[in-house]
Structure 1
């Protein structure tokens, strides 16, 4: 039977979700001729998809494009805070945009950690939080997670930490709310630790990046290997809170030997969870400038980084660590990584602070990073400068798809039958290219798929834009998924 271009043939979802590879091969050959499928959506056929399915990972996140700025005056903004939340789950994100040092790989350094500037900012931020906490919007349902990120929030003083913790408690937090403080170990002394614990912080995320002293020096990080391991041992000794470490693979000078020691060190450090993040080359970094000058140490290429990812995950799992997502593992059930999972699923995240991003009543929201207009707006009782986006009518399904791919498993029976049928050409292509396996009504990412999962998310949203579910022509104002790095 002939098919119209842009329309999928009728198929049996149970047969789609079966493990009949002959069916998938036949289906893919038919469908590729009637739908828009490109290598940026599907990856390419290669004997080694872990290393070569896509050309490169260029972003840490992916989302559907096409949302337009939403015109909102001050009266409209104030009225939003008098409404009740419509969300199924939500969190707070609080941004502290100060760092004492710019790391070589960072392209979003915002403000130096001047104590007077931090103090002024934290006081204004806490006043803003206190005002928001008393609104119907904030009080209408509990928050399951709070994330204080940056920047380097641990550069706040102990008194500032106590002030921030107190105002956070004015929001209706769930009884088991995850309250995370992000930062670095350097400068996070016992006084700050005890104040943070007393204030209700129960999870701490530290950017270790690498334990190797020489690699750390090249990345412009504080402290050597022994100092880091000693401090992590002190913080994890009594299990007073969940401690998480971030590691980056692909840093200058970080060869296989160094990376293997990094994995051994993080497993021995006592931390409850670890993120393995790939170094992404970004414009405007000191690392880029060093590379242009030819002064950069040895740097792993994309294929070597793929092998490093595979090694890290395999070693963690061989030693009993559980994979919670494509980039996060835990050794203890105390580590939930709740905020990160909620963000991927598209939960409502009320943002506070210059440079903070989140959502409110279904609208995306990103505040500007410039401190001066942020302070001026708060002093006059107005909304801080930033961008409000129109509501995404597909937000709930986008969150389901993004969250599932981030976890590595998509239950196909959670998708409406028409959408499942529509997406099967893409899913079949992923299976053909070694990025996923379809079995028992589940799309499960392979090791290669987990490594390339952000590319696959971007490819999925690109597919939906080029092949609208209703069969209409793709929108003219955008043809690719938005790819961006969150601050």
Structure 2
């Protein structure tokens, strides 16, 4: 049963230097046709399996940048979504850029059922913003958040980044203090990963991208955890912090390894044990939908082995960890039967703790999360 719906809007007015998501420049793109195609894709999926969408809990508009759309385009998109899916869900999130989030767009989002905003702030340092290829200013961050509150939004999250080229721990501390002064209910903070097919990757391969040392990045992460906790924001996942009652329900669906649908060019989904991805290029996506076909490029039936691995490395991202009981209910055998030796070894190394019927990362384990996750991919 699908718990969440992700809808991808691939259009951007500016391509950031670190971004490897499926995206295109807004100019000269068939944006209106794309919006109609998303509505058609949703309708086709519901016609094929209406029972799968009878109890969705979340909708998430991601990108790209949904707020790259004009107010009228946003309104049409939300009209199509509401015409096919119930928007009376627990959480309806829209990603937004501070320099694009106008009062008019905020009203459209609110009237369309959106009840949560995720703003791509990344840094409160103007120089670093330019380095990242971001187009907003710090003043626009403050203005957009103030406007969002005035429009009636309470559930607001901002994304931050650390481990950036030329970033010092002092700059990171300043960003954290300014972000926390906003007293928002949710923050996400990610270390930079240099992905292929990005501007940063090209610079890195040419020796022109100078990143902080691992020790400095670790110090930044520790600073992040400490300052969030001091300000009443509890870490519930490796990169996410929230006040009580404001955890991201949609993202938790991914970490719970539960099923979700993905609509739009390049979107991914996981339904009935099958992971799938849509055509990424806009033209190919439109061709498929306009021919009355679901625009799926790849499908993969997840094996039991893969399901076990995913349950572990996704679940361990959460501070609550992985439940022995839930694992056995989903897999048909016990976690100890499959991973007992690995769990004992990682507990002895101080990377995992076992208590209250579950395993979870220790604070030390959070710093070495990828090393821990890798252990559960090596067990046959």
- Using structure 1 for the length normalisation, give the TM-score: 0.71
More off after superposition, 410-419 vs 303-312: 410-419
Q: In angstroms, what is the RMSD of aligned CA positions? A: 2.4
Shift of 1:281: 2.1
| Structure 2 Cα separation of the partners of residues 237 and 170 of structure 1 | 27
Q: Residue 223 of structure 1 corresponds to which residue in structure 2?
A: 136
Q: Give the stretch that moved more between structures: 397-406 or 364-373.
A: 397-406
* Distance of aligned partners of 1:385 and 1:141 in 2 relative to their CA distance in 1, 3 Å threshold: closer
Distance 2:339 2:161 in 1: 33
Q: Distance in 1 between matches of 2:171 and 2:251?
A: 28
Q: Quick one: distance in 2 between partners of 1:313 and 1:220?
A: 27
Cα deviation digits, residues 65-114 of structure 1 (max 9, x gap): xxxxxxxxxxxxxxxxxxxxxx2x52111111111112111234531112
User: Which of the residues 339, 350, 364 maps onto 2:250?
Assistant: 339
- From 169, 178, 195, the counterpart of 1:265: 178
Structure 2 unaligned blocks of 5 or more? none
The answer to whether the Cα contact below 8 Å between 2:123 and 2:161 also exists between their aligned partners in 1 is yes
Within-5 A mapping of 1:67-466: 87=1, 89-108=2-21, 110-114=23-27, 116-137=29-50, 141-173=54-86, 175-236=88-149, 240-296=153-209, 298-333=210-245, 335-393=246-304, 397-398=308-309, 400-408=311-319, 409-416=321-328, 418-463=334-379
> May I ask how many residue pairs the two structures share in their alignment?
375
Where 2:277 maps in the other structure, the secondary structure is strand
Q: Counterparts of 1:449 and 1:386 in 2: how far apart (Å)?
A: 36
Q: Distance in 1 between matches of 2:233 and 2:87?
A: 27
Q: Which runs of 5+ in 1 are unaligned?
A: 1-86, 468-487
Runs of 4+ in 1 over 6 A off after TM superposition: none
* Closer, same or farther: CA 381–109 of 1 in aligned 2, 3 Å: closer
For 1:156 and 1:262, locate their aligned partners in 2 and report how far apart those are by CA, in whole Å: 29
| Cα distance, 1:240 vs structure 2 | 2.2
- Which structure has the greater CA radius of gyration? 1
Instruction: Please tell me whether the aligned partners of residues 273 and 332 of structure 1 are also in contact (alpha carbons under 8 angstroms).
Output: no
Report how far residue 125 of structure 1 moved. Answer: 1.6
Shift of 1:414: 4.1
Closer, same or farther: CA 339–446 of 1 in aligned 2, 3 Å: same
How far off is 1:376 after superposition?
Answer: 1.3
The offset of 1:393, in angstroms, is: 3.3
